[in-house]
Structure 1
Amino acid sequence: MNIDIKKLQCAMASKCYNASDLALYSRLSNATISRIFKTKTVLKTQTLGKIAKALDVEPKELIKD
C-alpha cells in the first residue's frame, strides 16, 4: 500500500512525534522509518498497521487517495 507522506507527517505532528519516536512506538527500526520517508516505499499491511496504531489513527487515514 502506498502511504501518503504528508498525511503521515500531519499525524506525527499531532502526536508531537519525530521519526525516532515513531520508530520506538511502532516497534519498527529507524531504518524502516527512514526508508518510508526517503523512497516512498510500498508498505506491507502489517507495517502500515503498526504505524497507524502508534499514531492512534486508522490505517486508511494514511493511504494515498
Structure 2
Amino acid sequence: MSNFKLDLFKFDLARAKKCYNKKQLAQKAGLSYDNLMKILSGKISLTATSLGKIAKALEIEPADLLKNEE
C-alpha cells in the first residue's frame, strides 16, 4: 500500500483523546505545522514515515488512522 488515506474522523478522535491541538501534535510528531496541515488538507501525500510519526505521537497503531478501503 503506497497511497495512504488518512481518516480525518479517526485522526480528530485520537487527537482529542490526547487533548492535543494540531500545533502540539505536529511538535510531538516531529513534523512542521505547515506539513501537517498540508497532509490533512490533501495537498501533499501522507508518507509511511509521517503516518508513523503521527501514530507514535498519538500512541496508537498507524493502521488506526487509515480509512478502511473496501
Give me the TM-score of the superposition, normalised by structure 2.
Answer: 0.86
Cα pair 1:7 1:62 within 8 Å, conserved? yes
Give the equivalent residue in structure 2 for 1:6: 9
Q: Which runs of 4+ in 1 moved over 4 A?
A: none
Give me the TM-score of the superposition, normalised by structure 1.
Answer: 0.92
Sort the Cα spacing of 1:59 and 1:50 in 2 relative to 1 into closer, same or farther, 3 A: same
Aligned length: 65
The RMSD of aligned alpha carbons is 1.2
Q: Which has the larger radius of gyration?
A: 2
1:18-48 per-position Cα deviation (integer Å, ceiling 9, x unaligned): 1101111000000111112222643110000
Once residues 42 and 26 of structure 2 are traced to their aligned partners in structure 1, the CA distance between those partners, rounded to angstroms, is: 16
Structure 1: runs of 5+ lacking an equivalent: none
**Are 2:53 and 1:44 aligned?**
no
Greater RCO (CA < 8 Å, at least 6 residues apart): 1
Equivalent position SS for 2:54: helix
The aligned runs of 1:1-65 (5 Å cut-off) are: 1-39=4-42, 41-65=44-68
